[in-house]
Amino acid sequence: MTTIVNPSIFRFLTDLKNNNTREWFAKNKEYYQKEEDQIKNFFTAINEGLTTIDNIVGMKVYRIYRDIRFSKDKTPYKIYRSCGYKRATEALRGGYHLEITPEGSFLAAGFWQPNKEDLFRIRKEFEMDSSIIEDILNTTNIKNTFGSFYTRNSLKVAPTGFDKNHPNIELIKKKDFIFLRKFTNKEVLAKDFHTTVINSFTAVRPFFNYMSDVLTTNLNGESILEQ
């Protein structure tokens, strides 16, 4: 297990981008496998670090093969390597994500496309009281690490049943609740990148703790978990 990212992964992914064909990939299978083993080792080291700060049910290294069935882009392989880490049990929803690529690596944590029931419950929480989430977003750790929520994926208008003039409408319009941090290639290859990733994920824990409280209670604050 290694706690550093080998620069050779960037060389491989750049070569793959320039030769994104099944023929090239087949001829360079050993090249791919060597780099895949190394990056999986790093992802495993991140998993080990995460288990010291959260209850993680496991990690999933996403396949390098693209699903091109409904895509205009028919190149068969991804030019990045990524891994997801799922939080354990019904009470600990949400997860962590790390993507390594020479074209802009990043990590993310939070709730990506939550189901309809969870999304409604979170929106109702922010409608009733935004003080806790605002306190979390204003912590030094969140501000210095992420700035705020990733803002790309929001509704253009208020969701059905919510007042468009509500003071918290921008929070309510969100479809995802994600913290995202981007990295330069130099940062990814730094010796302390593993520590940077774990510290970044640690900064999200107060948000996850709050969401666990929200998503395991009804609007009256009563537990909805089975006894």
Q: What angle do CA 170, 174, 179 make, to 5 degrees?
A: 105
Query: Can you spell out the DSSP letters for 152-188?
Result: SSB-SSPPTTS-TT-TTHHHHTBS-EEEEEEE-HHHH
The enclosing domain of 89 has a CATH number of: 3.30.930
CB atoms within 10 A of CB 137: 17
| Radius of gyration from C-alpha coordinates of the chain | 20
Q: What is the mean pLDDT of residues 207-217?
A: 94
Q: What is the mean pLDDT of residues 19-30?
A: 98
Cα separation of 142 and 148, whole Å?
A: 7
Confidence at 92, pLDDT banded by 50, 70, 90? confident
Residue 226 has pLDDT above 70, yes or no: no
Calculated CA dihedral for residues 44, 140, 207, 219, nearest 10 degrees? 180
Residue 2 has pLDDT above 90, yes or no: no
Residue 83 lies in a domain: yes
Residue 42 lies in a domain: yes
Residue 223 lies in a domain: no
Q: Above pLDDT 70, what percent of the chain?
A: 99
Span 52-69, pLDDT tens digits: 999 999 899 999 999 998
- pLDDT for residue 74: 93
Q: What is the mean pLDDT of residues 162-183?
A: 96
Domain extent at residue 99: 8-215
pTM, full prediction: 0.94
Residue 95 has pLDDT above 90, yes or no: yes
Residue 91 has pLDDT above 60, yes or no: yes
Residue 185 has pLDDT above 80, yes or no: yes
Q: What is the mean pLDDT of residues 63-88?
A: 95
**Total domains present in the chain:** 1
Burial class (CB in 10 A: 0-12, 13-18, 19+), 132: middle
- Across the beta sheet with 177-183, the strand order is 56-61, 81-87, 95-100, 105-111, 177-183
- Phi and psi at 151, nearest 5°, equal -105, 5
Q: What is the mean pLDDT of the chain?
A: 95
Q: What is the mean pLDDT of residues 102-110?
A: 98
Residue 74 lies in a domain: yes
Q: What is the mean pLDDT of residues 97-111?
A: 98
Residue 183 lies in a domain: yes
Residue 220 lies in a domain: no
Residue 44 lies in a domain: yes
Residue 222 lies in a domain: no
